Each structure stands twice: as C-alpha cells, then as structure tokens.
Amino acid sequence: MRTIRVETSGATILLTEAPEPKVRDRQTGEIAKDANSGEALMTIGVVYIEDGESSLFKVTVPEGGISEGLTLGAPVSLPGLVARPWESVFNGQQRHGIAYRAAAVTPAAFPATTGAAA
C-alpha cells in the first residue's frame, strides 16, 4: 500500500503514552523489528491537534529514534511522519485502519499563541 507523508508544521502533537516495545506476536512476546535495519520498533501514543480538532493515535518509531527528555503531556516533534492504510482478515473478520510511523520522536516547544493578553 502507498505511504502518505503527514504535514505536521501546523499541528501541536502531545505525548500521551511513553515509548514501549512494539510486540509482533502477542503469544510469543516477540518484539517487532524494522524490515530493513533489523532495529527494534517502539510505539508511542500521541494526541494530534490541528485546526481545533484532535485525534489520538499510536506511532511506531525505531528504538534509536527515541530521544531523551520526553515527558508525558509535553509537545513532541515527529520527523518523517507517514501514514499507511492497511487491511487484513482476522478470525474471519475484515479489519482496516491507518498505521503511523516516524523516523524519530523528539521534544518540541508549545507553539506561540497570537493575541494572548500579557
């Protein structure tokens, strides 16, 4: 399926879940690895806020792309964020969704507000 780049310059992205290893197989506990580099993959939870609307979603990031200094509730940057539609059949049920992946997750600053009273 096609990968779609996500433009994040107009959004505020807040970390809602700390990085955790991405589990490939829940029965065995096997950790997912990047197909090209073999690097372990991690997932984080974020809230993406843009134009007065927000969405909660998980993002997959290579373990080496997890920066120090991440704080829950704080803004983060997701360089190289892409979305990839997916679909599968599980136990006879058709499932579909969007998977998000970024090259890294780094601390960011809250955007400056305009017209705020001092």
Question: In this predicted structure, what is the pLDDT of residue 113?
Answer: 60
Residue-wise pLDDT for 76-105, tens only, equals: 999 999 999 999 888 889 999 999 999 999
What average pLDDT is seen over the chain? 91
Question: In this predicted structure, what is the pLDDT of residue 60?
Answer: 97
Report pTM.
0.86
The burial class, CB within 10 Å (0-12 / 13-18 / 19+), for 98 is exposed
Residue-wise pLDDT for 22-41, tens only, equals: 998 888 889 999 988 999 99
Question: Contact, 102 vs 80, CB < 8 A?
Answer: yes
